[in-house]
Chain A
Amino acid sequence: MISQVFILSSKGDHLIYKDFRGEAGKDAVNKFYEMVTALTGGQPPVVMKHKELHFVHIRQGGLYWVATTKADASPFTIIEFLNRLTALVKDYCGCLSEKSVQMNFALIYELLDEVVDFGYIQTTSTDILKNFIQTEAVSSKPFSLFDLSNVGLFGADTQQNKVAPSAAATRPIVSSQGEQGGKNEIFVDVIERMSVVIGANGVLMKADIEGEIRVKCYMPSCSEMRIGLNEEFSIGKSQLSGYGAAVRVDECSFHQAVRLDEFDTYRILKVCPSQGEQTVMQYQLCDDLPTAPPFRLFPSIERDSGGRYRTLFIHVPLSLRQSLFSYSAAINVSITIPVPKGSLRLSQELSSPDQSAELQPKNKAVHWEIPRFPGGAQLSALFKLEVSGLSAASLQEVGPVSLNFELPKYTSTGLQIRFLRLSPIQPGPSQRWVRYVTHSDSYTIRI
């Protein structure tokens, strides 16, 4: 059971404070902030204890979400509850930030009141909650002309209109404007997180995919939705599926509400989505990717032969696999290359002006940012580092290189959504969006 719940900004301002059981004083908030700021970098901050009170906290949206408890509660329950609370706040307020929490504090108090009673979690389902929540969300994003970027010249429909704007899914689920603002939209996102380790010799040492299908529903009434996956989708290692390009995952789990009666034969998930965001399916794939990893990197390192032995050349040719990406691009690619401790200055040769690279002496690393990386392209960069006290051992400090990127319109398992049907057919105009994205959870290439 939970004694108190409070939300603090990163600077320690009190945003929300709710005491459920009257067991602990309000000074717990300040005590918590003292403790959390006193932690050193390496200490695990999730659970802290002061006298009889346990503090469990998570960080989301730059805020501390804290629950305190006196009983020996289940950590999984409390952490999941806090995660769910952040999701609810995100659903109701549109986005998670200090500002949106501040503006919607009345709504959050109301939410907390309905979600938890006397420290016991009552319900966290948006379907039930929406009957009780009366306060309207205040959207923290003012209308901006820049949001109209998708509208074509003279209002003409452009190709881009086929793509859901990225801000579309960050608005409150209950909208005050009624029909005008709250469109009948449903988003189905297939999100995959990739963690890859590639050895120094180019051999793939580890490749894990954690994926999920997330549904965000803005429809007030939606009785059933059928999501059709690839027909050749298979689970587990034993099922061999001929010659076809099978989509295979190791393990797969579904949301409680998903009905699977057509899953075995037709690979159809039936779900009645409630308003807001929920994860319908989660899956994992270990070590056996159907395709080669998207990025290859063959860095070479040389020491300057110019007699002074002070400069280090790092040549980083980076290539994105050709075949799949001729129509697509990786975005927000950032590459981190650890460099020797004594690095003083960096000069670089990059292949296009929109890229940037900088030396971060505190992290002992060079950061290379590429905003957009077209498919099939090969970019390369040459970094010239001046290192004081360069020795043979300093070379060992270079690497492993890690990449961060986002691949829209791509799933590395090959999972696709064949169709998305709503029944009964929605009366008004409804829009259904399917989005695919692959993130790099951790993509490391050894040197």
Chain B
Amino acid sequence: MPYLGDEHTVRELRRALSNPNVQADHLRYRNTIHRVIRVMSQGQDVSGLYSEMVKACATVDIVQKKLVYVFLCSYASLNPELSLLVINTLRKDCSDHNPMVRSLALRNMCNLRLPGLSQYVQQPLTVGLKDKAACVRRVAVLGWAKIHSLQPNTEMDVAVVNELYGLLRDPDPVVMVNCLRALEEILQEEGGVAINKPIAHHLLNRLKLCDVWGQSEVLAVLQRYRPRGEDELFDILSLLDPALLSHHAPVMAATLRLFLSLCSTLPAVCMSALERARGPLLAAAGSTSRELRYAALCHIQLLLRSEPGLLGEHYKRFFCGYAEPPYIKQNKMQVLVELVNDDNVAMVLDELRGYCTDVNTETSQTAINAIGSIGRSYTDRCLAILTGLLGLKQEHITSAVLQTLRDLVWVCPQCGDAVCSALEGWEDNLQDSQGRGALLWLLGVYGDRVTGAPYLLEDCIDGVRSEVSAEVKTELLTATLRLFLSRPAETQDMMGRLLVYCIEEEVDMCVRDQALLYYRLLHCGIEEVRQVLQGGRRSDPSLGPLIGRPPEPISQWASIFNTLEPLTLGASTVGNSDPVTPKLSTLTPNTLTSNAEAMTPTPGDPHLPDCSSGALSLSVSPALTPEEFERLWLQLEKGACLEVCVACPVPRCSPEGLQVALQLVNIQTLAFTPPNTHPWRVYLYTHTSHISTKTPHTLILAELLHTGGEGEKEEEEEGEEEGEREEEGEKEGEGEKEGEKEEEEEGEGEKEGEEEGDKEGEEEGDGEREKEKGLLVVMRQHPGDQTALRGFLSVLTTVLHTLSTHTACTYTA
């Protein structure tokens, strides 16, 4: 039938519907209507039959009625005039003695969605609210919400609203929940239903009578209620406690969300709620429904952001099943990475090793990436697995391993040796451009230690004409130049060829410009080249990026818990070809918590700004990786930039202490030099947004620099005596850089004095002494927003002041 033309079908059906013989035989009539609905649900337009169907509506046969209503509700908006005819039948049905007919008529009356008809509908709805059958009351209550949504701007009758509030005490739980839903919609502009103490307690007491859907809805509405005191709060919590263990995931999730919002000021209670809900969450993560499994896994990832130790012993629950779809496997691996600790690392790596040869290439790449991220803390084991995988000689595995190794040596330079030995005797030819890029990068950086590096590069240079990816070409240029620095004799010739090709024949402008840049750079002399290329390798060798993402406060994600957002978040990261590798905590949770405890006096400190009170709010998510930070930092050099001198001594607390303190105001520390070195630097970032205004979110990157000012010489010597870990070469380099910085600083300082005179006047006025102890704050921002920068600066300085006074106190005590 679907293949016949619409016209033909409609004509045939119309003939059948208006045939008196058919109409007389109710079974035949019903079957014809059946056919109409079937055609309709197949997606054909049968709106032409509207008038025939209106006639069919007047019947005593309930099944036929229901079928006709399905049709009428779908096409009412196309035939508003004819629908008036239906209203009469419906109104008659509303006074039928059978409650089922009454509720059916009432429901479909509102479902016609014709604003013009609302005057006819209101009267039966008012009557329906007082009906003795619960099923009619359910429909009538929601009917008011439907009417409101048709005419959202008209004022709702106060009497109706009051009536609905009254029906919250209806004996039927569904009517009660429907009242909540209707009031939420009708009173949307006033912020939804008003939850006062009697209503809240009434809802809580009736909770057990509702089914799971009602329960989760009531729990969601209760989030708006704020208990008066601790006693009431704990009464509510103990009432809700059994629901945390519900084996219905919707109820459990809604309860947990309510717990988190009620106890946002009581972290200990939140933690124990998370622990209670652990069992049901794990059960949901092992449910037969794979969609539910996925939802649970995404939420578990949220939980782990604040409580990495929560599921440590249950790591086996996240081993992948053989037949699970790739997206679940990948999610489970991301969870596994977070759960690694000394006890289970061997088992987890063994398991992940098995996934590397998965049939699905994305799954195997995720597994390799996961091993790479574990490698940041368990380097040796992971390197052994990764280099072993190269032996498989499978294209996609090799490519993923190379990319992972590149990321790993960037963070852990000590793995260089293992990587070099893996590259020794390399002969594969990779097709994948990302893998080739990674190989070239490694060859460039470790060219001096890999014997065959020039030959490998030569192969690439010979094939550069057929290379399509511009990224590989730029990577090739850089690698060749780097290799030239370490092994000039072998590389010079091919480098010449490459530069000639790139400058004269290359069509991609980026590649050509880079080639030109290198060409001119080579004219300047080998020292310049060295400085540019090898300086870029690591901005400051003494800077070890802080691996380890300290636990986020629960409030960071509580607002998106049990919403669709975690599921779509997962989609964006997993779908990405280059997944953002989650960071691993090398600092054990214990040390972190002890630091946090040590710092707990600070929140109570009056100096500490409350970041939520001002118009400016800071947040650390989305997190930046050290690589991203560096890229942005260099990119924004020319953009919004502000340098300010702050009169504040170097905080004498430990790096971790500083980190935790800054975290309390949502500033993330990314890297810093060891405490007693000079110059002392810290790199920070944060995201800002204004609560009041509509200005977009901005990202602020900042560097704290303490050069030591005039007293530099002495302190420098002191530093030498104290810490001998600074190597000779590094210090020379540092010295040079420092000199530059210092000049800059002086220049800037003067300029600043004029620019920011009004703001920093006092501090600048202090002159010499201030410079001695002052910290230089260099801030870069994207996109530019001066007020946000100022706000950030004031938060930062307050924290620094607090810290120095706080530590001073502890020192004197």
Taking CB atoms, residues of chain B closer than 8 Å to A80 are 212, 248-250, 292
Taking CB atoms, residues of chain A closer than 8 Å to B320 are 442
Whether A442 lies near B392 (C-beta < 8 A) is: no
Could you give, for residues 247-277 of chain B, a 1 whenever the CB lies within 8 Å of some chain A CB and a 0 otherwise?
A: 1111011100000000000000000000000
B515 contacts partner chain A, Cβ-Cβ < 8 Å? no
Q: A15-B41, A208-B317 are in contact. Are A41 and B326 (CB under 8 A)?
A: yes
Most chain A CB within a 10 A radius of its CB, from B66, B320, B323, B324: B66
Could you give, for residues 80-99 of chain A, a 1 whenever the CB lies within 8 Å of some chain B CB and a 0 otherwise?
A: 11110000000000000000
Whether A72 lies near B564 (C-beta < 8 A) is: yes
Whether A74 lies near B254 (C-beta < 8 A) is: yes
Whether B567 lies near A120 (C-beta < 8 A) is: no
Taking CB atoms, residues of chain B closer than 8 Å to A113 are 66, 70, 107
Q: A42-B575, A43-B575, A365-B359 are in contact. Are A54 and B213 (CB under 8 A)?
A: no
Q: A42-B362, A76-B295, A396-B357 are in contact. Are A197 and B351 (CB under 8 A)?
A: yes
Taking CB atoms, residues of chain A closer than 8 Å to B62 are 134
B321 contacts partner chain A, Cβ-Cβ < 8 Å? yes
**A391-415 contacts to B (CB < 8 Å):** 391-393, 396-397, 400, 402, 404
Whether B357 lies near A338 (C-beta < 8 A) is: yes
Taking CB atoms, residues of chain A closer than 8 Å to B220 are 74
Whether A49 lies near B279 (C-beta < 8 A) is: no
A47 to B330, alpha carbons, bound, how many Å?
16
Whether B181 lies near A251 (C-beta < 8 A) is: no
Whether B327 lies near A45 (C-beta < 8 A) is: yes
Whether A16 lies near B41 (C-beta < 8 A) is: yes
Stretch in contact with the other chain, from A282-290, A296-304, A425-433: A282-290
Whether B250 lies near A393 (C-beta < 8 A) is: no
Q: A47-B571, A80-B249, A206-B316 are in contact. Are A134 and B63 (CB under 8 A)?
A: yes
Stretch in contact with the other chain, from A103-111, A163-171, A319-327: A103-111
A253 contacts partner chain B, Cβ-Cβ < 8 Å? yes
CB distance from A263 to the nearest CB of B (A): 15
CB distance from B362 to the nearest CB of A (A): 3
**B584-619 contacts to A (CB < 8 Å):** none
CB distance from A108 to the nearest CB of B (A): 9
A264 to B248, alpha carbons, bound, how many Å?
22
Q: Name the one of B113, B138, B394, B562 contacting A74, with C-beta atoms under 8 angstroms.
A: B562
**B752-805 contacts to A (CB < 8 Å):** none
Q: Name the one of A47, A106, A205 contacting B67, with C-beta atoms under 8 angstroms.
A: A106
B162 contacts partner chain A, Cβ-Cβ < 8 Å? no
CB distance from B326 to the nearest CB of A (A): 5
CB distance from B633 to the nearest CB of A (A): 32
Whether B138 lies near A122 (C-beta < 8 A) is: yes
A377 contacts partner chain B, Cβ-Cβ < 8 Å? no
A338 to B391, alpha carbons, bound, how many Å?
17
B116 contacts partner chain A, Cβ-Cβ < 8 Å? no
A58 to B322, alpha carbons, bound, how many Å?
20
B684 contacts partner chain A, Cβ-Cβ < 8 Å? no
Q: Name the one of B146, B323, B571 contacting A43, with C-beta atoms under 8 angstroms.
A: B571
CB distance from B426 to the nearest CB of A (A): 15
Whether A251 lies near B330 (C-beta < 8 A) is: no
Q: A13-B42, A208-B317 are in contact. Are A44 and B331 (CB under 8 A)?
A: yes
A22 contacts partner chain B, Cβ-Cβ < 8 Å? yes
Taking CB atoms, residues of chain A closer than 8 Å to B294 are 44, 46
B226 contacts partner chain A, Cβ-Cβ < 8 Å? no
**A276-332 contacts to B (CB < 8 Å):** 282, 284, 286-287
Q: Name the one of A16, A77, A364, A444 contacting B213, with C-beta atoms under 8 angstroms.
A: A77
Whether B146 lies near A75 (C-beta < 8 A) is: no
**B131-189 contacts to A (CB < 8 Å):** 135, 138-139, 142, 145-146, 149, 174, 177-178, 181
**Which B residue sits closest to A363, measured CB to CB?**
B359
Taking CB atoms, residues of chain A closer than 8 Å to B298 are 75
Could you give, for residues 294-325 of chain B, a 1 whenever the CB lies within 8 Å of some chain A CB and a 0 otherwise?
A: 11101000000000000000101101111110
Whether B41 lies near A118 (C-beta < 8 A) is: no
Taking CB atoms, residues of chain B closer than 8 Å to A256 are 212, 248
Could you give, for residues 212-252 of chain B, a 1 whenever the CB lies within 8 Å of some chain A CB and a 0 otherwise?
A: 11001100100000000000000000000000011111101
Taking CB atoms, residues of chain A closer than 8 Å to B651 are none
B565 contacts partner chain A, Cβ-Cβ < 8 Å? yes
Taking CB atoms, residues of chain A closer than 8 Å to B291 are 46, 56-59, 79, 82-83
A441 contacts partner chain B, Cβ-Cβ < 8 Å? yes
Whether B354 lies near A446 (C-beta < 8 A) is: yes
CB distance from A391 to the nearest CB of B (A): 7
A73 contacts partner chain B, Cβ-Cβ < 8 Å? yes
Whether A41 lies near B316 (C-beta < 8 A) is: no
Taking CB atoms, residues of chain A closer than 8 Å to B323 are 402, 404, 442
A347 contacts partner chain B, Cβ-Cβ < 8 Å? no
Could you give, for residues 31-58 of chain A, a 1 whenever the CB lies within 8 Å of some chain B CB and a 0 otherwise?
A: 0000000001111111111000010111
List 5 A-B pairs, Cβ < 8 Å: A41-B326, A72-B563, A83-B292, A396-B391, A397-B357
A-B pairs with lowest CB-CB distance, top 10? A442-B321, A42-B362, A44-B327, A253-B247, A402-B322, A121-B213, A77-B250, A47-B567, A76-B249, A76-B250
Q: Give the interface of A toward B (CB within 8 A).
A: 1, 13-17, 19, 21-22, 29, 40-49, 54, 56-59, 69, 72-77, 79-83, 105-106, 109-110, 113, 117-118, 120-125, 131-132, 134-135, 193, 195, 197, 199, 205-206, 208, 210, 251, 253-256, 282, 284, 286-287, 336, 338, 341, 363-365, 391-393, 396-397, 400, 402, 404, 441-444, 446
Q: Give the interface of B toward A (CB within 8 A).
A: 34, 37-38, 41-43, 62-63, 66-67, 70, 74, 100, 107, 110, 113, 135, 138-139, 142, 145-146, 149, 174, 177-178, 181, 211-213, 216-217, 220, 245-250, 252-254, 279-280, 282-284, 286, 288-289, 291-292, 294-296, 298, 314, 316-317, 319-324, 326-328, 330-331, 347, 350-351, 354, 357, 359-360, 362-363, 391-394, 562-568, 570-571, 574-575
User: Told that A123-B211, A255-B247, A282-B283 touch, could you supply 18 new A-B pairs with CB distance under 8 A?
Assistant: A43-B574, A44-B570, A44-B575, A46-B567, A47-B567, A47-B568, A54-B564, A56-B291, A73-B564, A74-B254, A76-B252, A76-B562, A109-B41, A117-B107, A134-B63, A199-B350, A286-B317, A404-B323
